[in-house]
Amino acid sequence: MFLKRLARPVLAIPRVGKRLLVLSIDISLCVFTVWLAFYLRLGEWVRLFDDRFWQPEWAAAISIAIALPIFVTQGFYRAIFRYAGWPVLVTVAKAMMVYGLLYATVIMAFGIPGVPRTVGLIQPLLLLLTVGGSRLFARYWLGGLYQSQLKRAALPKVLIYGAGTAGRQLAAAMSNSHEMRVVGFLDDDTRLHGQMLNGQPIYSPDDLPGLVETLQVSDVLLALPSASRKLRNEILLRMRAVHVSVRTLPSVTELAQGKVSVSDLRDLDIDDLLGREPVVPDQQLLSQNVSGKVVLVTGAGGSIGSELCRQILKAEPLMLLLIEQSEFALYNIHQELQAQLDESPVRLVPLLASVRDAERMREIMLTWRPDTVYHAAAYKHVPLVEHNPAEGIKNNVLGTLTAAQAAAEHGVGNFVLISTDKAVRPTNIMGASKRLAEMVLQAMAVTMPQTKFSMVRFGNVLGSSGSVVPKFRQQIRDGGPITLTHPEITRYFMTIPEAAQLVIQASAMAKGGDVFVLDMGQSVRIIDLAKRMIELSGLSVRDESNPEGDIDIEITGLRPGEKLFEELLIGDNPEPTLHPRIMKAHEDFLQWPLLREKLTALEAALDTHDVEFVRSILEHIVAGYSPSGEIVDWIFLEREA
């Protein structure tokens, strides 16, 4: 450890100083090897510059006079650490052959009074060993650390935003990082500007544009765990103008405990891109229909279903039943949840099943008699469902009907449907099927009041499968272009955890037949989201005003069934609830006898794959459904062709 600590100041010596240091060492070795040669020849130690003994100082002076010119001409001092390993031995050996020949000639042929002639043979051999050994020692002592410093000098340079505890912990975790190098801190506290923290200067955020140029900063790492969403939004707005890549980190507590490596630094959290302040959940509403109860989640392996499972597990149910028709998805979510249980008594039951299988659903409901069912199983990708309408309707409508009937027959207290804003005045099969599923539950709530049927309607969730955010991120990594269907398209967005928490809280307020609508805030222009992601990646948009930019945005045209704008309400009379982010809608529906008759006709049309008749029935049942284009069902198109 001492040698390692000593290496750093040695490496910090200027190049001229290093050359002089090595030159001094070589002179010392010439003197030392002459002294050692005298000992080996005479069998006793002699003192230099002592007339009572032989005259070793002459032998040492001759050694220095011969060795230094040879060492200089052989390039020993052009680079201190260049000669390392076997190359240094070859170079030293060649130089020492010349040196040994000259030194032996002077000592043996001409002779020096008081100097044994055999010293001319012994000393060159000793000098060969010591000079070669000194180079190898330098290689092993300093070489690794030197190369490490060279590599770190070439690493991307980053600034940490936040000079508090989180910033200090992050800087400490990155001190030996081989991926990036911290060159300073940014902090809004003016009292800290110009101060040093862990050997790094603290700058004002206003200096960032200049720092990017002078320090060649490529990334800014946010270490602001307690900052409000408003403050983070202001910081991100500032970052966008500078074109640096902004990244955030996992829990600083995890970093400090060594649970996470610095390589886990990631892109901005999705809610940072959203710029929305989530509301702290009401713990009583979260636990009311979950804690200590048997809970069932259909579509448990999907984006929403899996997050529902995570949130439910935190509320400690008695048992959590996971229903999923995809074996791979079921395995993944079961393994993830199982790893989180620790000593928890919660029992997880993974069940392969399709919600369209009435017998299987009844068997599950009869065996475990769940208290609450969250029905997240659905086909949700608009273009895919538009191309496969029969399967979309069977899964989204008839699957919901099958699961709801099995739940009602076996005493389920609460049945919650995960719905979508696309159910409002739909222009596509997916939206129409989800609105029809809502109508099924509204009608059943009247005829089967023993089960509280409710539905929660919300817009897009950021980060789900098919979401634009992971798609845009990958396109940015690939160098673009970012593909966008229309420059004016807008969507409502919410993070998956917030949506799942609000779904659970809304279900706790259900009385039967409720259509809950989540407050999604302001709709977001997708092109603005794309530009924000490009700029916060340290890049720029390439367009007519900036032809030298990095990433193109390419408009591809609306896909089948896609709307420019989404709505959350059919009517304009939302009713507030106990939660500020949850509203209650009043939507018209058909009574069960009439709806059952329509559903029977729909099933018959589906069985014959009569897509035109299916669309016609949907138009009659679902108010506001207006198909936006021609039929694009693959089978229909193939038969037409």
Question: Which residues are tagged catalytic?
Answer: 422
Provide CB contacts within 8 A for 450, sequence distance 6+: 408, 411
- Other Cβ atoms closer than 10 A to 59: 27
Q: Encode 441-471: b = buried (16+ Cβ within 10 Å), e = exposed.
A: bbbbbeebeebbbbbbbbbbbbbbeebbbee
The answer for residues whose C-beta is within 8 angstroms of residue 603's C-beta and 6 or more apart is 398
**Under DSSP, is residue 557 helix (H, G, I), strand (E, B) or coil?**
coil
CA angle 239, 242, 248 (to 5 degrees): 35
104 CB contacts (<8 Å, ≥6 apart)?
120, 121, 124
DSSP structure string for 56-77:
HHHHHHHHHHHHHHHHHHTTTT
Question: Could you give the CA distance from residue 520 to residue 551 in angstroms, rounded to a whole number?
Answer: 29
595, 601, 603, 604: CA torsion to nearest 10 = 170
Annotate 265-285 with DSSP letters as a single string. -EEPPHHHHHT--PPPP-HHH
397 token code pair: 């409508």
Phi–psi pair at 182, nearest 5 degrees: -80, 130
Give the separation between CA 203 and CA 191, rounded to whole angstroms.
11
Sheet of 157-161: strands edge to edge? 196-197, 200-203, 181-186, 157-161, 217-222, 245-248, 266-267
